[in-house]
Structure formats: C-alpha cells, structure tokens
Structure 1
Amino acid sequence: MTIEPLLKALAAALAGEGPAVQIMAGPAGAAEFKLIPDAELGLPAGHAADIAAVVLTSGSTGQPKRTLLSVDALAASSMGTAIALGAEGQWLLALPAHYVAGLQVLVRSLFAGTRPWVMDLRGGFTAEAFTASAGELTDTVRYTSLVPTQLTRLLTDPSAATLTALRRFNAILLGGAPASPVLLEAARGAGINVVTTYGMSETCGGCVYDGVPLDGVHVALRDGRIRLGGDVVAAGYLGDPALTSAAFFDEELDGGPVRWYQTGDLGEWDGEGRLRVLGRVDDVIISGGLKISAAAVERGLQRVRGVREVFVGGVDDAEWGQRVAAMVVASCTPEEVRAGAAAVLEPHLVPKTVVLVPELPVLSTGKPDRAAILARLADAAAEAAPTQTRARPRTTS
C-alpha cells in the first residue's frame, strides 16, 4: 500500500509548512486523508498553525470526536516513547492509520527519520500478512503497535514463522483495550517484549507504559478517576468548544502551567507505584441494586482455564434491572466458564448469560465493538429468560 502522499502531508504539517492532516478510512481499509485549512480549525489567531493532525476518536464508548493534536504534543509523545523504549527505530504499521495508534507509527517514523513499513490490511489482519510485513523491516531496531485481539490471534497461530516474526521486534506496544494477564504471560514467556500502553486520542495515544508515565506526563487520581496531563495533551475538539471545556483544563503546578485531560476511566496505584486502570467510570452494571464493575468481572473470567478473550456488559432484565452478561472466546463450554467464574468471583459477579464465540466482533481499530457485542448479548439473554425464570426456585414467607 502506498503511503507516500500521506507521509509527505504529515511531514509538512509537523514542520509547520502545511495545513493539519485528517486521516479517514478509505475503501477496503485503505487510508485516505484531507487537509484542514487553518480557518476551519476554529482556534484563536496564531494558534491554528500549531495543529498538525485531526484524529477521530474510535467511537467505541460514545459519539466520535475530532481531536486536535499540535506539533508540540506529537513531538513530546514521540520523544517520550523513544526515551521509554531506549531508542528510535523502524516501525511496522499494523493498525489503521486513521486512528491515533496508527497515526503515531507514522509520526514517530518521521521524527526518527526512518521509513515505516505499511501492512496491507485490505484483506483484514492475518498472521500470514503480519509475518510477511515483519520480514520487510531492515532497521536493526524494530517496533510495532498492536491491540490485544491482534496479539492473541498471532500467538494462537500454529505457524512457527509467526512466533519468529514477533520476536524480531525490539518491543511491541500493546494498547487500545485491557490485556489479560494470561495473554501477557504467554507473550513474555515466548520471548516477546510486550509493553502495555494506556492513553487515548486526547493524549496523542499511549502516554503511560507498563503503568509508568512517559517523560513529561503527569497522572493524577481524583475520586479514583484518572487525569492525564502534560505536553502530550490535545488542544481540544474541532467544532465543539463546550465539550472541550468539559474535558480539558489548565492548572498551575510548581513547574508552571500544565494542561490536563479528564479521562472516563477509574484507576489506582499498585504496590510498586504503577498506574492500574480499573475500568470506565460508566462501565458499571446495576443488578438487583448492587453496583458491579464490568472490568472486575472480566479480570475474574480471564483467570478461568481455557478463556482467551472476554467482554462483559450489562443487559436489561425485567426482575434485576440489569444482568451480567459475557461474550467469551474460549476452549471450554459456557457451563465451564460459569463454573470457573463461580470459583474465583462472588456469586453476584458471575455472568448470568455467557455467549461463546470464535472471535470477538471488533472495530477497524481492533477494539471490541461494544454496540455489536451488547446487542448479541441482549438477544441471548432474552432467549434464555423464560427458561431461567422457570428454573428460579420459589421462596416462601
């Protein structure tokens, strides 16, 4: 796939010699882009030229937004990544370029002066295509960014060539969705250097690596909610000043002014002082008056033998308000999943509905398609509801 026109436009924007670039999804997964004139950015005079890229959020948890990323923010993110990884290098683009993780592969390459290799995603993400693309990298230092679904599929591919391709990378950044401990243990046990990342479009992508903020990035917890600050934070949202004001704010710290982004995630510090992301603020299931964290249920299910991938959500229930439901990729049966969950979770956390699938439905980014999964879980719960109602024991007063 040719990427030269896009790289040229990005290079001009990063050098302050061209308008901002917005990358869009083209036919069959190809990347297309358009240039955003300064007048359309809606920023004060003198600030529009600072914007290098306009990135669409994934829309996996709400309405997609167009995030404004400045030259300085992208430069700070690229430098922080190079410091964290120990060197700049050549990158393989294995994600769609129109989302921030894909854009960052191109931006880091431009700042490093290396040529990225672009994986052809028109036939979808496959182990064969990944292996072939990995073999094209010529630099002695090689990186790529993946999401957990992609890494899971690569590790379960029976070809020895796939494992060899994974080991060619000095580091594989893994983000976009929580990675299960089982997946991370399998990857690192196979000799693959996986670095987990946390961040979003509003922070130029991942800005916390393995629980540690990149150089120059601030992390704060307010009532358990994660705030991310520093030079990597976006200028705001294109055409939505109200939403910008609600999500971003500036604060004076000892070293000077810091721009912050209020995430929608909950977190805590672990015993080593690393950030642990617990799940989304709004990712709470209320069943029978109890508040249940979907992320907590996912973490429990990931401990069940045979479970490879899992998505947990709430579906409507006439009696309980909501019920816990899970879509699972596993080598065991739904009954075995529930039995295993009952051994590691409190009774009210065990999913009432379990749907077994060969693969989780995903967006073009590789993130789970929440809308599609929740719709299928709701259908499964509705079909099972009459049977479950009949099976519920009666109580006497």
Structure 2
Amino acid sequence: MRLEPVDTADARAVLRALRGAVLGAGPAVALGATAPRDVPAGTAVVVTTSGSTGYPKSVVLSRAALTSGALATADRLGSGSWLLALPPSYIAGVQVLVRALVADREPAILSGPFHPAAFAAAAAGMASSEGGRRVPTYTSLVPAQLQTLLDAGETDPRIIPALASFEAILVGGQALPAALAARAAAAGARVVRTYGSSETSGGCVYDGVPLDGVGVRVTDGEVQLSGPMLADGYLDDPERTEATFLRDADGTRWYRTGDAGTFDGGMLRVTGRIDNVIVSGGINVSLDRVEHVVRALPGLASAVVVPVADERWGQASVVVAPRAAGRDADDLLAVVRPAVADALGAPARPRAVVLVEEMPHLPSGKPDRAALRALADG
C-alpha cells in the first residue's frame, strides 16, 4: 500500500484523505514528516510526532485499529455529531474525524487558531434533530483549551452554554487538574477524562474504565494496554517496536505505556511517567507527583515542573508558570516549597519558580517540556 503525505494545516484535506484510508482502498495517510513510500497492507495512518521530549516516532495504525477505537467510543458514549477542535495531525484529532466517518456524519471543523468565540459559534451550529430528538454532540479537547474556554466564559456569555451543550467532552493528552475539572463541572460541562496515546489509536480508558475490548494491567508498576486498537508498531524501527509491544505466551499483545499507575477501586489511576524521576541528594523524586501538588495551589493550575542540574544535589526541579498580575516568583516559591515538603518531603521541594509571558505548547496542546527545560536552565 502506498503512504502519501497530506497537508495537516488543512483539516478538510485530512478528512478527505482519512475517508479514503479508513473507509476506502487508500492510500494510507502520512501525518507528519514522512515521505511517500510503501507500507504494509491495511495501514490507514502513520502519525509522526516528536512528543514532549523531542524524540521523533512514527506510529503505524491500521484501519482496524482506528475503527475499533471509534466504535468502542460510540458504544460507551453513544453516537452523534463531532466537533474537531484539535489539530488533525494529533491522534485525538484524527479519532474525532474517524468517529465522524464511522457514524456517517460530517464533522464540524474549527479552522485556524483555537478561539473561544469560534468554538461557541461552531457548537451552536451543530444543533440538529432526527425524528424529533436532538442529535447528541461531542468534542475532544486538551486541558489548556478547556481552561481557555472557562476563562473566556467569565466575560463572554456564549461560552458556558456552548460547553454545556455537548453530551460529552473528551479531555486528554495530559492530566486534568482537579481544580479545572471542578470548574468545568460547575459550568455544566460533561467532561470525560481519557487515557491513551498514538500507540492505542487515542484514548481507550475513559474515567479510569477501559473501553470494551481493551485490556489493562499494571506490571512492575507500569501500565500496559491490550486490544484491537493497538498500533502495528513504529515505522522502520523494529527494535523499538519489539521493546514497546510485548506478546504473552497465549498470543495477547500488550503495549508498554511507560506510565506508572495503580488500580483504585477497580479503576485505573495513572500517577505519572516512570522515567520522570530525578535523584536529588540521593533521594528519588517523582516530578509528576511534585507537579500534582503544585497545580493544586491557587493560580498554578497550568504550571509545569521540569528537572535541572544542581551543583549541590545533583538534580533539582523548577516550576515554570505563566506570569499574572500581582504575582512574584519569590512569593510563589515561598508557597510552593512548604506545600511540596508537607506532601512529599523536603527533598522534593522545587529550587525555583520561573514566570513566563506565555507557556510554550506543542501542536497537540501539551506543554513543550523540552522548551520549558531550556527556559528553566536559562
């Protein structure tokens, strides 16, 4: 099968290409820096992304994997109309389009930079009915978009009704801070926390519960996933494929997520990245846990904690947060350090707080942690 690139800046071009790749005979769609070439039969999409650390990977997804994920979502949430508010080069954006194709409904598409007014207008334009019953609407966002909408809703009366109009708003890509989730719920938004990645055709665990057909286990503290939605592997990288996708003696194939997690009352709880740990003064410190504590503090819901070298302790952490009126980095540090010490112990205390005019983000909406590390080191 031929793999052909598509202009990811044109969401409708991506939709047309996906229609052929997922519902037709192809060609397969290259999303990212992948040149035209041949790929295995059944391939629908190759998603190439640098991720938050800058390490490139090209994930090979079949028609069966993508449609399995879309159908499982419909089984869990119901079928209806979808609004694309994410870049179509991002797996969550791809899945919005695939769900629309599987449901045989034309998706609503936001073009250009994300803007609350455009989101509200698109949501209003989706209202329709069949047989006298309202057609449910759905969308998918990252936490930064949800926060932008809630902030805009404080002054624009169109935003909150738009959020509340969706039957479900899938939110993934990164952890959803508890304070932001509470704000969304108070606004009437029906948020569903999703967990997954490009390797799982997008979110496959909703609010801690796997979709039908998805297997979840925690092995040596690592979350591993199985099911028909798994990627075939990484393009031209058999060693990485073999290391990341395991096969049991019974033939079951598992994806090693690299995430730490536990089961809490039968629900999956992801606690952070296994490798996002520093050794400070001989003590292992999980930066995900530090970030969780910091984001619970007033005004720091979007803060990111990154590692830096430290002459005395070997490694330390720095909190990077957006600048706001009336906030001083030293004053914030005086709040952050005791809060982290109380929750996690003195060795986990961040060394500094760095305030920036604007937080750098990847096209997916995730914080650009590589850029944030450079800012912290500077």
Fold in common (TM above 0.5):
yes
The size of the alignment, in residue pairs, is 356
Equivalent runs, 1:262-277 vs 2, <5 Å: 262-270=256-264, 272-277=265-270
1:200 paired residue among 193, 197, 200: 197
1:217 maps to what in 2? 214
Partners of 1:7 and 1:21 in 2: how far apart? Answer: 10
Partners of 1:136 and 1:58 in 2: how far apart? Answer: 34
2:236 paired residue among 234, 239, 261: 239
2:293 paired residue among 291, 300, 308: 300
Letter in 2 for 1:126: H
Q: Which has the larger radius of gyration?
A: 1
Q: Which moved more, 1:5-14 or 1:326-335?
A: 326-335
**Residue ranges of structure 1 left out of the alignment (5+ in a row):** 26-33, 42-47, 380-397
Q: What SS is found at the alignment partner of 2:92?
A: helix
1:31 maps to what in 2? none
Displacement after TM superposition at 1:300 (Å): 0.8
1:160 paired residue among 125, 133, 157: 157
2:226 maps to what in 1? 229
Contact 1:266–1:278 under 8 Å retained in 2: yes
Displacement after TM superposition at 1:49 (Å): 2.2
Contact 2:86–2:92 under 8 Å retained in 1: yes
Residue deviations 1:226-262 (CA, integer Å, cap 9, x gap) = 1111111100111111111111122255xxx322111
1:387 maps to what in 2? none
Partners of 2:281 and 2:35 in 1: how far apart? Answer: 51
Displacement after TM superposition at 1:290 (Å): 1.1
Residue deviations 1:280-311 (CA, integer Å, cap 9, x gap) = 11101211111110111111112212322111
2:348 maps to what in 1? 349
Displacement after TM superposition at 1:151 (Å): 0.8
Q: What SS is found at the alignment partner of 1:49?
A: coil
**Residue ranges of structure 2 left out of the alignment (5+ in a row):** 1-8, 129-134
2:277 maps to what in 1? 284
Q: What SS is found at the alignment partner of 2:41?
A: helix
Residue deviations 1:153-173 (CA, integer Å, cap 9, x gap) = 111112121112111111111
Q: What SS is found at the alignment partner of 1:276?
A: strand
Residue deviations 1:29-82 (CA, integer Å, cap 9, x gap) = xxxxx8955xx22xxxxxx22111111234213422111111111111011111
Contact 2:54–2:370 under 8 Å retained in 1: no
Partners of 1:265 and 1:228 in 2: how far apart? Answer: 11
Letter in 1 for 2:99: R
The answer as to 2:53 corresponding to 1:56 is no
1:135 maps to what in 2? 124
Residue deviations 1:341-383 (CA, integer Å, cap 9, x gap) = 313432222211101235421011111001111111111xxxx
Partners of 2:162 and 2:357 in 1: how far apart? Answer: 24
Contact 1:77–1:207 under 8 Å retained in 2: yes
Displacement after TM superposition at 1:8 (Å): 3.0
| Regions of 4+ moved over 6 Å | none
Letter in 2 for 1:96: P
Partners of 1:7 and 1:125 in 2: how far apart? Answer: 18
- The change in CA–CA distance for 1:359 and 1:168 in structure 2 (over 3 A counts) is farther
Partners of 1:322 and 1:117 in 2: how far apart? Answer: 47
- The change in CA–CA distance for 1:3 and 1:181 in structure 2 (over 3 A counts) is closer
Partners of 1:160 and 1:251 in 2: how far apart? Answer: 54
Letter in 2 for 1:129: A
The answer as to 2:114 corresponding to 1:125 is yes
Give the TM-score normalised by structure 2: 0.89
Q: Which moved more, 1:338-347 or 1:284-293?
A: 338-347
Partners of 1:133 and 1:201 in 2: how far apart? Answer: 26
Letter in 2 for 1:17: A
2:16 paired residue among 8, 16, 31: 8
1:363 maps to what in 2? 362
Displacement after TM superposition at 1:5 (Å): 4.1
Q: Which moved more, 1:324-333 or 1:213-222?
A: 324-333
